[in-house]
Structure formats: structure tokens, C-alpha cells
Structure 1
């Protein structure tokens, strides 16, 4: 069960690294992006090598009992150092030059410590034991190797948090990156808890203390949790953007279905407003944008068929219904929606009958605007169409004003 957690988080880290690489291409990778990939792949490798089953197999095949533990520790050290370099490459100047100089020294120290750890772990003649707590109590070289590993990772995590705070002071940090870096800070806190618990076990075992077999299980799960949170933080902007795209696409599909009745009526009435034949392969956002544009074009064409006093008539009818006992529809349909619905309905009826308004010059009325985006505009038009179909006030107004005007111009039928 413990190994399953390692494999799951390692798989997530590798998949996240592949996704990050694919989304960055074909442009050249920036320094920060390269470090992110090293962090993710290094953490994934470290988790796989830290699995008990993998350590046992590698130890049996190579006759080097702690080779897998050395590879796990070295991978995590490289991953932790790369996390520091990742943030160091984006901190604001003038701190960036100083921090980069420090990371060069830290890289040299890391190489030396990995060599020391290799001597201690690979040169140990201790037999492999999956219970690390017992090994730490009796084997000085393994305990020293683990101490080197934990000490370096602790320095990296501390420096990472300090640099992260400097990075968040940049004025151009987007809100989504703030959420990602907050998750990275949480991962760092969990990692420090993991290190603290490991140190407690190491010191306790060395001074003769006795720990239960599940004492290292807590440290194990803290380490997995820290790695998982770090992987989430480094890919959070990608997942959130992908989720937003999916939600927007789903909303666009719904809006396209909702707009279809109004769009079909208007394109049947004014076929030339259609920009081009419908393309079923188009993204729903493109189809929605095209439908809204075509509906607005039709609205501009039809405004000359709207009686000039229509708004006053609708407001009066709306006010009368509000004062009646049954005001359900008045609450359900705002007056502005009713005005737009009545304008559409009367204009379409007058266009079919050829009754253009003689005292309403073409283009004197403009369609309603001021909506935030295409989806908001589509929702507004869907509500307008529902009002055209269902609202009794709109039906009453349309019936009362249809005879208004006289036959003139475009849309006139021969018998008008």
C-alpha cells in the first residue's frame, strides 16, 4: 500500500512534466520551464526508487543493498535544488543576480554531498532491511548518508520559501500564479514536517529510543503528500486554464442550442445575414460568436420596422401588470427584456407584412449593448426569445401595435 502511493504520485509528476513540456513547445524552453521539468521528473524518479519493492529488486540484482536509496536521495536532492533555481530565475532584480551566484555555489555543494552520500550508502556492507528505522539505529554509514540528504533538502526548502516570497512581490504576478505559489508554500511546509519527523526518528534511534514500526509510515506519507502538492502547484495554471476552456466550451454549446430558435427565425427571415454556411467542425465558441453577430446584424436591419412609441407602450403594460394581483410574469421578465422581445417580435411581423415605420428613419434605433462578453450577450438574447414566445405582456403589445405604420420598402409583399 505504501508503494502504491509512491507509484501514483510519481506517475502524476511524470505526466505533469510531459504536459508542461508539450504546452511549452514548439517555443524554446525558458530557464524556469527547464527547472520545472527537472523538479517534476526528479521527484517522480525519487519516489519510484524510494519504493520498498524497487529497493529490494535493485539490491538483489546489483548486490548493492542501498543503491536504490542512493538514487532516490540523489534524485530528490536534484529536484529540490532545481525548485530553488526555478524561483531564482524569476525573482525581481537586483536580487536575481545575487541569488544566481548563490545557486552556483549551492550546485557545487550538492555535487560534493552526492559524492559523499554515494561513498556512505554504496560502500555500506549492511544487509538490506525495509525497516529504515532499525537500519538507522545500527548502521552509522546509512544514518550519515540519510543525514546528508535530509540536511541538504532542508536548506533547499527553506531557501525556496524565502525566494518564493520575493517572487510574489513582483507586480506582474497573476492571481492564478498566486494560488499556485500558495500551494507550493503548503507543499514546503509539509516537506519540512516530513524532514522534522525523520530527524526525530534518526536522533531517537541513535540515542537508543524505540519507535514502533509505523513511526516511519507517517514520515513516508508526509513525503508523498509534499511531492504531490508540489506537483499540483507547478501545474496548477495549466489545469485551471484547461478546466476554464472546458467550462467555456460547455457553456458555449448550451448557448448555441439556446440561440438556435431565434437564429433560425432570423436567418429564415433575412437569409443574407448568415456570414457563411454552418460548419459543424467549428469550435462552439466560434459558432456562438458568429450567431450573436448575425442576430445583431438582423436586429440592426429590423429596427426600422419597430414603432417609435413601442418602449412607452411596453413600460405602460408592464406597470399595469405589476399592479395586478398576479404579478408572477412581471417578476420573471424584467421590463428591459420585455422591451427587446417586443421590438424583435413587432419588427419581424412588420417586416413580413412590409409595414416599415415612416416616421422612424432607418438606423435611428440601435440594439441593446453593454454586456460583458459573448456568453452574457447570448444569455440575454435567449432570455429575449423566451419572452417573445411565452410572455403575455409581449404578446399583448405585439398584437396592439402590429397594425401601426404603412407599407414601405424592403420586405413588402405584393398584396400589401
Structure 2
């Protein structure tokens, strides 16, 4: 995400970084059994292209004009598209232009954290409609699920557009039986909870659960710096630090949803004790938790506003923390570049924007496969960064699962 979610096109990729339009997920198929895939392709092209005509869509998707016509008629009937009228041209009958209707649907994103619930609403254009925080003094699963049910019911009444789905971010790593937390964000009483089943029953719509880094990566791909970028890694600063990877336009989640748990990679032999039980984990040196711990004085833990004030005052302690954190982060970025060979690394999350910008400026990244003279994108860039990033990323998850072509989905899956 850029500083705010939007539908503006992202950076244009050049020859050394292939554009997403060349990806196989944006190619349709003519057989009727592929109609759901074709529908996703059309929606994805419109999401990225802004407004397009039927012939343009057919040519770009490599499917017949009649197939596109049928899909557009369905999407118009469902109020997911807008008919923008005919485009002026120098000759011939101008083509009718179509665009995604921002008011056609909403999604709700929920971040469940220790002590608080953040709820965000996005429209179909990726525009935030509201963000609110609700205190959670009792983290018992049954209590939190009841509060979520009330919040969702209230938001559904507030917005007339259909609710496409709900995205939820919770602390990882995820286990087969449920969810568990490692570190300062641990959620008690949730280890045996099947969050997807429980939340689906509570809310009555499709629910997609993921960790905050994966959700942030999906949001960057749909609405931010990751637009038109097929391969990138998102380093997400929550209380800890995690990675969400987008490879060939698809998020990398791993067998059990734990891909990208970089916060518990040991970076310092016999280093600081981590709550996971290891010594020297990355998030003990590079994370919002590590920063607030370093800046805690007389038992007072600074909030985001206090950290910004300290940074603006050029407090020696916060500058020393940046000097210490940058080398650890630089080495991790080099390692990830060698493993994933991304087009770019995007850094974002809850770290205050100015501090994150300074951290990026201090990076001296070792040589890796990313050292290329001809680059279309910066090696490292800042994505969306504020306290609501995780909830907004969560709200992007239903869009991804409903709109974006996905190779692993059966082609006869039900439509939106």
C-alpha cells in the first residue's frame, strides 16, 4: 500500500522485471467450465486497468468477446461494475467503457491483538470507509467472538453494499489444530480454536484468516506498491517482524500458513533471550516491540505518538537503536533476496513512518542476487505504515480470494 489505499496504477515494470499482464493468471480460457476463472481475469484486468472496453478485455485476457460480454452482463447485474458510457475516438463507434463499482461491495478486516480489536471497512475500489478500535479487556475466545459478531452486525447495517467477506489477522505461527502465538502478541485461550469455523459461524459470510505479514503483502499487491509487481517480499513490522511473499502473483503461505516467520530466525549467537525460548532472534533486535523496549524508561512504555516525539527530538537512544537495528535488517534482506529473488522488498506495518524511513536510509545491504545494474524498481521501498495497516490488509483478503485469478482453485468454484 502507498500512504493510503487507492486504485491508482502502481509502478510500471520494465524488461528486466516482467509486467503482471504477462502472467499466466491474467489469461482466460474459453470453455464454459472455465467461466469462474475468466470472471476473475476480467475483474483483475479492470482492477488494474481502471476502465476498459469489451474488445480490450477480450484481447488482454485471450478469450472471446462473447465470453467477456456474458461476464460483463453478469457483473453489471450484480452491480459490481459501472457502465461509463462510450469512449470518444477519432473514428468508428466508440467502445463502451467499464470499471469496477466501488459501491458494489464491501469487505471487513479485523485485527485481533492482545487488548484490542481493530475493524476496517474497504469498498470494492480499495478505499477505506472506516477504521475503528475496540478495547478487549477479556481475551477469552468466546468473549472476543461475541464482540466480533456485534461489530460485524453493526457495520452491515451501516453500509448498504453487500458484504463480500471478512478478513482476520491474528498472531502466528499457525498450527494444524488452531492458532498459537509466539512472543509479545500471544493470545491466551485460542490455541484450540478453529478460527475460520468459529468466525464463519459467528458472522455468516466467508472468513479468511491469515497472519499480519501475509495480509499486508496481499494489500500491497492489490492497492499499493506491489501493483504490477509479480514477485516481491513484504517485511511487516507489527509487535514483531514477519514476511509476506508474493511469488508469481500468488501469496506464499506454506503447508501450514507459517511461511515468512523470519522474526524467529537467530541472527545473534548467544544473543538476547526471545519469548520463543531461543537466543538472538531477529525480532529481539528489529521490531516495534524491540524499539519500545529500548525506549521504555521508569516503567513507562512509549506509544506510537511518544516514539514519534522522541524521534523528532533526535533522542540519542532512538538513534542508537536505529544504528543497531539497521545491520541486522540489512543482512536479513540480503538473505531473503538470495532465497526469493524478488523484484523489490517492501517494508511497512506499525512502525512509525518517519522512523521506518530512517531505518531504510541506514541500510547497507550486502551483495545478493538483487545487485543488478538494470532495475525497474528500487531494491527496498516503504509501503503502507500506520497502526491500522494490519486491519486494512485483512480487509484485502476477501478481495484477493474473490477477484484475483488463482491457479490452485477448482475452475467450477462458485462465483462471487
TM-score range, shorter chain: under 0.3
Q: TM-score, normalised by structure 1?
A: 0.24
Q: Which has the higher contact order (CA 8 A, sep 6+)?
A: 2
Q: TM-score, normalised by structure 2?
A: 0.24
**Could you say which structure has the larger radius of gyration?**
1
